Amino acid sequence: MDRERGEAYIDEEGFIQIIKEDSESPRNLFLVCEVNDKIVGFSRCEGRSLKRVAHKVEFGVCVLQEFWGYGIGKNLLKESIRWADDNDIKKITLNVLQANERAIMLYKNNGFEVEGVLKRDKLLSDGRYYDTVVMGRFHL
């Protein structure tokens, strides 16, 4: 995520509104993963209606750290890819910190390619700057 703990907090009503709007848009997808009635992960594909970019969506995912390693992010990604392919979306893009090697490998294993690197793009709470890897998956 591109925010520190507590930044741009989305409450339950906010999530409900995003999910409602995404449900009404043929270019958006919002998925959640629940464990014991608690949302522990979600992903979103967001598209645009402008003709020049209507063929693509931007993917983002978030999983609570205590639930890492259970395949939640992987499954959210696979479902998003399936949805994109089924809906004639040609390209999925995403951004990931270069230090997140596990995520980069997951994306590569699912057909994504590195399209570029944004140098010193993110300043994290540890006071260090990190590069962002821009990745994309194109489906014919």
Residue 80 in domain: yes
Question: Is residue 31 a contact partner of residue 57, using CB atoms and an 8 Å limit?
Answer: no
Q: How confident is the model at residue 82 (pLDDT cuts 50, 70, 90)?
A: very high
Does the pLDDT at position 111 exceed 60? yes
pLDDT for the residue 117: 98
Q: Round to whole Å and give the CA distance between 110 and 104.
A: 10
pLDDT for the residue 12: 77
pLDDT for the residue 138: 97
Residue 7 in domain: no
Residue 1 in domain: no
In the chain, pLDDT over 70 holds for what percent of residues? 94
Tokens of 15: 């999530």
Give the helix, strand, coil percentages of the chain, each rounded to 5. Answer: 30, 40, 35
Does the pLDDT at position 55 exceed 90? yes
Helix 101-109 × helix 72-86 angle, to 10°:
40
> C-alpha distances in angstroms, 132 versus 41, 47, 74, 91, 98?
22, 21, 20, 19, 5
Stretch 3-7: mean pLDDT, rounded?
58
CATH of the domain at 42: 3.40.630.30
Supply the DSSP string of 82-134, one letter for each residue.
HHHHHTT--EEEEEEETT-HHHHHHHHHTT-EEEEEEEEEEE-TTS-EEEEEE
Q: Round to whole Å and give the CA distance between 37 and 3.
A: 25
| Number of independent structural domains in the chain | 1
Residue 34 in domain: yes
Stretch 3-16: mean pLDDT, rounded?
70
Q: Domain span at residue 36?
A: 12-138
Question: Is residue 63 a contact partner of residue 102, using CB atoms and an 8 Å limit?
Answer: no
pLDDT for the residue 2: 54
Q: How confident is the model at residue 135 (pLDDT cuts 50, 70, 90)?
A: very high
| Amino acid identity at 2 | D
Residue 6 in domain: no
Stretch 40-58: mean pLDDT, rounded?
94
In the chain, pLDDT over 90 holds for what percent of residues? 78
Q: How confident is the model at residue 6 (pLDDT cuts 50, 70, 90)?
A: low
What mean pLDDT value characterizes the chain?
A: 91
